[in-house]
Amino acid sequence: MRLLFEKSVLGRRGIRVPAADVPTTINLRGDLLREAPAELPELSELDVVRHFTELSRRNFGVDTNFYPLGSCTMKYNPKVAERIASYPGFAHLHPLLPQLRIGGMLTQGALAVLYETDLLLREITGMAGFTMQPLAGAHGELCGMMIMAAYHHDRGNDKTTVLIPDSAHGTNPASAAIAGYDVVSVPTDEHGVMDLKAFKAAVNDKVAGVMLTCPNTLGLFNPHIREICDVIHRVDGLAYYDGANLNAIVGKARPGDFGFDIVHLNLHKTFATPHGGGGPGAGPVGVTEPLVDFLPVSIVVKRNDGTYALEYDRARSIGYVAPFYGNFGIVLRAYVYMLMLGREGLAEVAENAVLNANYVRCRLKGHYKLAYEGVCKHECVFTVTDEMAANEVHAIDIAKALIDRGFHPPTVYFPTVVKESMMIEPTETESKETLDAFIDAMIEIAQLATTDPQKLKDAPITTPVSRPDEVVAAKNLDIACL
Ligand SMILES: *Cc1c(COP(=O)(O)O)cnc(C)c1O
């Protein structure tokens, strides 16, 4: 595809601005003025519309196709939340507007949204207080680990280590390390959950805490979760819950009731706010009562007269972790989503997310090898069959063949504890017809793996570029080649 600059034709115009009928003054110093006109593309309005519409059609998103990318929860984002987030009363607020007194009327609504979202998230997770500041899941993890460190510092504990299962999202060990801890990786047992014996053997007085995802990235719920939290508490350690993806348990079970002390949530996953392409996101962090004082400032409080205000004066706080209050627009969308669904609707999210994942699991299990048998939660992990492996068919070939069939591939090669893994997360927002179409495509690909594996090696054939070197493409993006 040609670039906008290459489509330029000298003298072509989209609109013609009438000559100014008022005197024009230029106050710039002469040496700052441009000597020659800027070389901007010259095009008609229609040329520009066609160019950008064409580009947008090369985008892949939930609004166009099925996107079962495991551990990412690419669910549908209801448009009503977008609509409300664009209301001028919210969208045009300046973060430095006064909270009370003059102009306070302008910000009370936004403060109420932050306050009420905090209350809803407390109810959903069983925590005692939240900060909305973190701008992503990984950012929430770092904030949570800083709170963990502040807790131990406050108590004079000498802790050096955080335990993390080997199936964890890569951001977990990174966050613990940036917060100053050594990471000890705990292996996965034969059932796909953290090995309880190995975990107990790794716990000692130097352990600051454990970071867990439950259900984990294999889509499996750890039946020992309560015991794990009890064991860590016995050495005055804390249990951190990576709730990036709460889809499997939202409205059904609460990390606080399992025994966790710190939780982060990805509003841009479970709470249906847009994500992909690096943001914006929101990774609120919740904590139990003994940790509330360590939350970042500022915190929205409700005064006795019913007005809302920001509280900064909190001596034990870890301080700011983001400018102002975080990505307010994302928090607002999540708030709308929660109000729209209500308690019953949120519980149905979990029911249908789990049902859909198990439907995919059951229909595909005769065609691909399941990493772990048994009921899964919001996602299921497959690997290639022995026959596929013998034909040199890899997870990447199956992923690429799906692209030609109009589906976003599942997450492949993660979690790393499963070789050639394909992690499928259908989410609750997809219909049975869409799931069936995807499953049928997967089955057709499985058959090709035996009858004509070369076809899979050649895929994708419908995209402008077939198989770029993904590392080079990410680090050295050159869209001109499209
Ligand atoms: C997505 C995810 C994260 C990281 O969230 P970001 O918003 O991408 O930083 C962390 N943990 C798990 C389990 C996830 O699925």
Q: Which CATH number is 97's domain given?
A: 3.40.640.10
**Domain assignment of residue 355, yes or no:** no
Other Cβ atoms less than 10 A from the Cβ of 253: the count is 17
Walk across the sheet containing 238-243 and list its strands: 129-131, 285-287, 262-265, 238-243, 207-212, 161-165, 182-186
- Measuring CA to CA, how many Å separate 303 from each of 249, 296, 307, 325? 33, 19, 5, 19
Task: Check residue 65 and give its pLDDT.
Answer: 94
**Domain assignment of residue 266, yes or no:** yes
Higher pLDDT, 482 or 340: 340
**pLDDT-based confidence at 103, cuts 50/70/90?**
low
Handedness of CA 341, 344, 349, 355 (dihedral sign): negative
Residue 213 Cβ inside 6 Å of ligand 1? The answer reads: yes
3-state secondary structure of 129: strand
Which residue has the least CA distance to atom 2 on ligand 1?
244
DSSP letters spanning 251-314:
TT--HHHHT-SEEEE-TTTTT-----TT------EEE-GGGGGGSPSPEEEE-TTS-EEEE---
CA distance 312 to 127: 21
**pLDDT, tens digit, 9 for 90 and up, residues 212-235:** 999 999 999 999 999 999 999 999
Distance 437 CA to ligand 1 centre (A): 28
**pLDDT, tens digit, 9 for 90 and up, residues 466-476:** 898 888 888 88
- ∠ CA 420-246-402, nearest 5°, is 35
- Measuring CA to CA, how many Å separate 62 from each of 15, 273, 399? 35, 12, 17
**Domain assignment of residue 52, yes or no:** no
Q: Which of 69, 139, 169 to mutate to test ligand 1, by most ligand atoms within 8 A of the CB atom? A: 169
**Domain assignment of residue 39, yes or no:** no
Residue 482 pLDDT more than 60?
Answer: no
Going by C-beta distance under 8 Å and a sequence separation of 6 or more, which residues neighbour residue 2?
A: none
**pLDDT-based confidence at 278, cuts 50/70/90?**
low
Say if residues 208 and 161 touch (Cβ distance below 8 Å): yes
Other Cβ atoms less than 10 A from the Cβ of 82: the count is 14
**3-class SS letters over 353-383:** HHHHHHHHHHHHCCCCEECCCCCCCCCEEEE
Residue 242 Cβ inside 6 Å of ligand 1? The answer reads: yes
Task: Check residue 227 and give its pLDDT.
Answer: 98
**Domain assignment of residue 380, yes or no:** no
Tokens at 281, concatenated: 């996101």
Residue 110 Cβ inside 6 Å of ligand 1? The answer reads: no
CA distance 124 to 251: 6
3-state secondary structure of 102: coil
- Ligand 1 atom closest to the CA of 279, numbered from 1: 7
Specify the residue for token string 């860590």. Answer: 232
- Measuring CA to CA, how many Å separate 166 from each of 137, 233, 379, 442? 19, 21, 18, 28
Distance 70 CA to ligand 1 centre (A): 11
* β-pairing verdict for 380-383 and 369-370: antiparallel
- Measuring CA to CA, how many Å separate 221 from each of 212, 248, 270, 469? 11, 9, 17, 36
Average pLDDT value for the chain: 94
**Domain assignment of residue 308, yes or no:** yes
Question: What is the DSSP secondary structure assignment for residue 17, as one 8-state letter?
Answer: P
Task: Check residue 1 and give its pLDDT.
Answer: 73
* β-pairing verdict for 207-212 and 238-243: parallel
CA distance 246 to 16: 53
- Ligand 1 atom closest to the CA of 171, numbered from 1: 10
Question: What is the DSSP secondary structure assignment for residue 184, as one 8-state letter?
Answer: E
Phi, psi of 440 (to 5 degrees): -60, -40
Residue 173 pLDDT more than 60?
Answer: yes
Number of domains the chain is built from: 1
- Measuring CA to CA, how many Å separate 465 from each of 29, 403, 462, 468, 471? 48, 12, 8, 7, 15
**Domain assignment of residue 183, yes or no:** yes
Task: Check residue 480 and give its pLDDT.
Answer: 64
Distance 30 CA to ligand 1 centre (A): 52
Across residues 137-142, what is the average pLDDT?
Answer: 97
312-320 contact pairs (CB < 8 A, 24+): 316/150, 316/154, 317/293, 318/143, 318/146, 318/147, 318/150, 318/294, 320/133, 320/296
3-state secondary structure of 424: strand
Residue 25 pLDDT more than 80?
Answer: no
**Domain assignment of residue 224, yes or no:** yes
Phi, psi of 50 (to 5 degrees): -60, -40
Q: Which residues of 259-287 are buried (b: 16+ CB within 10 A; e: fewer)?
A: bbbbbbbbbbbbbbbbbeeeebbbbbbbb
Domain interval for residue 83: 79-340
Enter the pTM of the model. Answer: 0.91
